[in-house]
């Protein structure tokens, strides 16, 4: 007896589509926040935009050169060790706007609101701090 293949094909395509789904910008911010809180700095660093990581890498390289080679830490370790930690509790992360490959997420924590710029890269939405890292 031959089973119909259409339902199996549909289920397979749905499963594959779910694997390739890109997270929404606000969910990426929440994921970033959770990873920093859990001190999963390498994973959190991967959620920063390429220009942000390049700026951090350049600064850390200068620090390594200035230290005469005594600074051995990875860029993500130096960055998170010398940054203000995010608030303990993010009450809300809301997508405010999305135009093309740029989005803004409003973050509410400790009664304060701030906006975070996000950019879409090939691997998904990333937090973009490149403007704030300019000298």
Other beta carbons within 10 Å of 109? 16
- CA dist 74 and 19 (Å) reads 30
pLDDT class of 6 with cuts at 50, 70, 90: very low
| Residue 80 CA: distances (Å) to CA of 19, 43, 86, 93, 128 | 30, 12, 10, 21, 15
Residue 46 lies in a domain: yes
CATH number of the domain at 38, please. 3.10.450
Domain range for 122: 23-127
Residue 7 lies in a domain: no
Q: 119 with 101: CB under 8 angstroms?
A: yes
Q: What is the pLDDT of residues 94-108, one digit of tens each?
A: 999 999 999 999 999
User: Is the pLDDT score of 91 beyond 90?
Assistant: no
Please classify residue 108 by burial: count the beta carbons closer than 10 Å to its beta carbon, then call 0-12 exposed, 13-18 middle and 19+ buried.
Answer: middle
Is this structure's pTM higher than 0.85? no
Domain count, the chain: 1
Residue 52 lies in a domain: yes
pLDDT of residue 86: 64
17 or 116, higher pLDDT: 116
Residue 49 lies in a domain: yes
């Amino acid at each position: 007896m031959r089973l119909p293949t259409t339902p199996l094909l549909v289920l397979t395509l749905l499963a594959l589509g779910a694997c390739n789904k890109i997270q929404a910008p606000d969910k990426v911010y929440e994921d970033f926040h959770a990873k920093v809180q859990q001190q999963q700095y390498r994973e959190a660093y991967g959620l920063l935009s390429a220009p942000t990581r390049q700026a951090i890498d350049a600064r850390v390289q200068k620090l390594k050169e200035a230290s005469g080679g005594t600074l051995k830490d990875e860029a993500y370790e130096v960055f998170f060790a010398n940054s203000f930690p995010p608030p303990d509790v993010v009450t809300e992360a809301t997508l405010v706007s999305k135009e093309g490959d740029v989005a803004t997420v409003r973050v509410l924590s400790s009664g304060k609101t701030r906006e975070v710029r996000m950019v879409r890269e090939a691997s998904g939405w990333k937090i973009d701090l490149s403007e704030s890292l300019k000298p």
